[in-house]
Amino acid sequence: MSRRLVITADDLGRDAGSTQEIVALLADGHVTATTLIAVSPESAPAVAAVRRLGVVPHLHVTLTSERGLVPWRPLSDAPSLVDDSGALGPAWAAERAATADVLGEMDAQLAWMRGQGVAPRAADSHAGVLYGLSGRSLLPETLRWCAGHGLAFRLPRDPRPWWGGPLPAPLAAAHEQAVALADALGVPLPATVVTNRRSAGDLGGYPALRDAMLAGLADLPEGTSELFLHPSRADAVPGPAGVVRAWEARLLRDPVWHRALAAEGIEVVSGWWF
């Protein structure tokens, strides 16, 4: 078995600047997949832009608003997901939301994408809300929902590269159960998932980010894994977060990165269900 990698740019549609950067990376072949924030006002032009490239984005299930942007509103009637203004609230609010509201909003976001003429093949969770990393897990409901819609789901079979080591015991047990359920339901999962979880302050500079991502390539297991990053222009996302997103965009264009992919013998693909 060979090692394959899906290179994904998350947050298509988050804002105009990020969308422009992601579209450019797709056009140049530096990323092979992207995920769409369907609740954003920028989502419609973002879909139109990637459709012109023949790219079908995955559904980035979004149940929270984004700091620094005008709050997003749900596409469904989901009273337990919104604040008094009718906008999507923070992650803790989504984790306490009624399951029916969560699933109804997921239905609405998927239906919106299909109404735009794109039929996603996979889904994942913006801000990790569905994974239960800081509260209630909605993984069983999500996996059943994916099975019902014929979608793959971003849940790594081996979570250690993403987590940075073994999961804590409660999370490890929940993860093992979720993988078993996905297999029983026939929901495709990536072998593992790699991303950058460090801030600009933690990294200190671009070379540290590149070194970490190169080390991640060397540790990829057999099968199809996914690298997801959040590339953007520094001026599109204010503050230190924008700096990291600009570094991530730089990495994806870096000849050192591309030489490492070739040297490791990693085949770059567009999905983990092939």
CA geometry: angle 228, 195, 120, nearest 5 deg: 20
Reduced to 3 states, what is the DSSP secondary structure of residue 225? strand
Tokens representing 246 are 């600009």
Phi, psi of 174 (to 5 degrees): -65, -40
Alpha carbon distances (Å) from 74 to 69, 87, 128, 142, 206: 15, 7, 17, 18, 36
Cα–Cα distance, 121 to 95 (Å, whole number): 25
Q: Could you read off the pLDDT tens digit of each residue along the chain, which spans 274 residues?
A: 699 999 999 999 999 999 999 999 999 999 999 999 999 999 999 999 999 999 999 999 999 999 899 999 999 999 999 999 999 998 888 888 999 999 999 999 999 999 999 999 999 999 999 998 877 889 999 999 999 999 999 999 999 999 999 999 989 999 999 999 999 999 999 999 999 999 999 999 999 999 999 999 999 999 999 999 999 998 999 999 999 999 999 999 999 999 999 999 999 999 999 8
**Predicted TM-score of the model (pTM):** 0.97
User: Do the Cβ atoms of 62 and 72 come closer than 8 Å?
Assistant: yes
Pairing of β 122-125 and β 33-36: unpaired
CATH class of 3-269: alpha beta
DSSP letters for 156-213: -SB-HHHHTSPPPHHHHHHHHHHHHHHHHHT----SBEE-----HHHH-SHHHHHHHH
* Domain extents in the chain: 3-269
